[in-house]
Amino acid sequence: MSIVFNAIGSIERDPGEQATPRHHTLSDVEGWLNLLPEYEAGLSDITPGQRIVVLFHFDRSPPFTPELLRQTPPHRDAPLGVFSICSPRRPNAIGMSIVEVLEVDGCRIRVKGLDTLDGTPILDIKPYFPFEDGQRH
Amino acid sequence: MSIVFNAIGSIERDPGEQATPRHHTLSDVEGWLNLLPEYEAGLSDITPGQRIVVLFHFDRSPPFTPELLRQTPPHRDAPLGVFSICSPRRPNAIGMSIVEVLEVDGCRIRVKGLDTLDGTPILDIKPYFPFEDGQRH
């Protein structure tokens, strides 16, 4: 059963950046989440300093094929199941990054911690709730 | 531009459970992530005790409309921007839960911490990397 979404905006990386970090936990890359103007009101409670979850579309990934169910990530020496890694080549090409908010300017959010390509379509933004000691699981 | 995904499986909550917790960080609900058999090899490195991210489709949510850009969550007394809350009524009806793995059995994963309805379509499973003190951001 097909599930259809539409991009709510796109990611703009600062020009001049070189390599794409392999993971958002290792990234200091800054840029903008540019939302379509119609979604600006939805950003009203996002504030500098907080972390947010960005879901995006790996729009330049080749199609998924069964031999990609196990892949060897660049920093590993043995294959891992696709659901244990963050590879862009996955059954549904959805990526997730947790980034730090630096500024909110209208329908744009300046963030730090990007690990995506410039122009990547944004699917959703969610609050980030870390698990802490004492939570129920 | 439309982006099309397909469910890779569905969530099976244990029968007899009553209310759906409002958030996965508050949930002790157990159940199964039932993947389609073709994806079983992708689960090979998921182990009991770890936490995983589950992305799913809020398949029973009504369509998003502009008045939902700000919503008052059940436990709050004022509206918040949709990108600061986990409401199922959002521009793209994608949900995210972080659950604890109890068991992996073929193409099924038994988990604890569900906050979804029974039968919810699964879009993706990803490893969960908490931020820790000393990480670069």
State the ipTM, two decimals: 0.91
Q: What span, in angstroms and rounded, lies between the C-alpha atoms of B136 and A28?
A: 7
Quote the minimal CA–CA distance from A12 to chain B in Å: 18
Which residues in chain B have their CB less than 8 angstroms from residue A137's CB? 27-28, 100, 112-113
* Domain residue extents for chain B: 25-127
A 79-118 residues with CB < 8 A to B? 80-86, 90-94, 96, 98, 100, 112-113
Single pTM value for the model:
0.92
pLDDT in tens, B96-123: 999 999 999 999 999 999 989 999 999 9
> What per-residue confidence (pLDDT) applies to B60?
96
Which of B27, B31, B26 is closest to B16 using CA atoms? Answer: B31
Measured between CB atoms, which of A3, A42, A130 is closest to B57? Answer: A3
Quote the minimal CA–CA distance from A116 to chain B in Å: 16
pLDDT in tens, A20-41: 666 666 678 999 999 999 999 9
Task: Select from 3.90.120.10, 3.30.70.270, 3.10.105.10, 2.40.30.70 the CATH code of A9-127.
Answer: 2.40.30.70
> What per-residue confidence (pLDDT) applies to A137?
37
Classified as helix, coil or strand, A84 is helix
> Could you name the CATH architecture of B25-127?
Beta Barrel (2.40)
Which residues in chain B have their CB less than 8 angstroms from residue A5's CB? 2-5, 92-94
Q: What is the largest CA-CA distance in chain B?
A: 46
Low-confidence ranges of chain A (pLDDT < 70): 17-26, 131-137
CA torsion sign for B68, B33, B104, A97 is negative
